[in-house]
Structure 1
């Protein structure tokens, strides 16, 4: 079970866009450099985020901006922007209904309800995580790194 890495790329881009506001024009080239991804992948992610109404992108090299407050953007919305089918592709069922076996003929029905419960749980968890909370965690990580860097240059006695 795996959520596409495009979701983490999208979160990376959204955090970068938020942090660069008023400091730098955020282009796909800049995001490609930050993420280490091919610019084509970045443009695909940016296009999906724009289509979902999460960001706006000025024509040419105008840059990208968030369209909503980070508290109003959930991880599930980000995921859905990239995977419109939602979480239904997280857990698959192998195609075997045509086989002359009672297990094969019924496995889809047997797994439908449990898989739906899993999908619903993952969706609810993702809906409870906002870009704002991810930004808070990002800032906490930065503060820890800066404190560790300060301790290395100024050891405590």
Structure 2
């Protein structure tokens, strides 16, 4: 099973827009090169970000624009915009109900997974896009200093 990267890719796109706004053309091709994906994937993700009210885009033109202050966009906001109500953890429901483990694993894990998901979402609510951008810029400055 492949794990979705829509969430992290959407954070990447928002950070890219903030950091490179006014410095380079923010075409889906340029953003895609940073993500090492196709411009089509970028445009799909940007549609979700636009529908969530985070960015403004104009069909046929580059340079999307951030509409919300990065300090006001939490990672939970981005998660909900890109993943919706998709659970963080999934349980395999195709197990043998006659087996002690197979017959009890789902109900056992549901409670644990619920607590872990609640804690993860609470943490994501505390981290803003600005926090991510600031960390990226600090890490880049450290890399440049070492060069």
Q: Name the TM tier (shorter chain).
A: 0.7 to 0.9
- Show the counterpart of 1:53: 53
Give the Cα separation in 1 of the matches to 2:3 and 2:133.
Answer: 20
- Between Structure 1 and Structure 2, whose CA radius of gyration is higher? 1
Return 40-49 or 23-32, whichever deviates more. Answer: 23-32
Give the Cα separation in 2 of the matches to 1:99 and 1:143.
Answer: 55
Any idea what the Cα deviations from partners look like across 1:68-122, whole Å, max 9, x if unmatched? 1011111121122221124x1x222221478445654543333222211011011
Alignment of 1:146-157 (within 5 A): 146-149=144-147
Kept in 2: contact 1:18–1:66 (CA 8 A): yes
Give the count of matched residue pairs.
146
Give the structure, 1 or 2, with the largest relative contact order (CA under 8 Å, sep 6 or more): 2
Return 107-116 or 64-73, whichever deviates more. Answer: 107-116
Q: TM-score, normalised by structure 2?
A: 0.85
Kept in 2: contact 1:53–1:67 (CA 8 A): yes
- Show the counterpart of 1:21: 21
Kept in 1: contact 2:71–2:129 (CA 8 A): yes
Give the Cα separation in 2 of the matches to 1:139 and 1:47.
Answer: 26
Give the Cα separation in 2 of the matches to 1:131 and 1:93.
Answer: 30
Kept in 1: contact 2:17–2:66 (CA 8 A): yes
- Show the counterpart of 1:128: 126
- Show the counterpart of 1:110: 108
Q: TM-score, normalised by structure 1?
A: 0.80
Q: Where in structure 1 do 4 or more consecutive aligned residues deviate above 6 Å?
A: none
- Show the counterpart of 1:39: 39
In structure 2, stretches of 5+ residues that fail to align are none
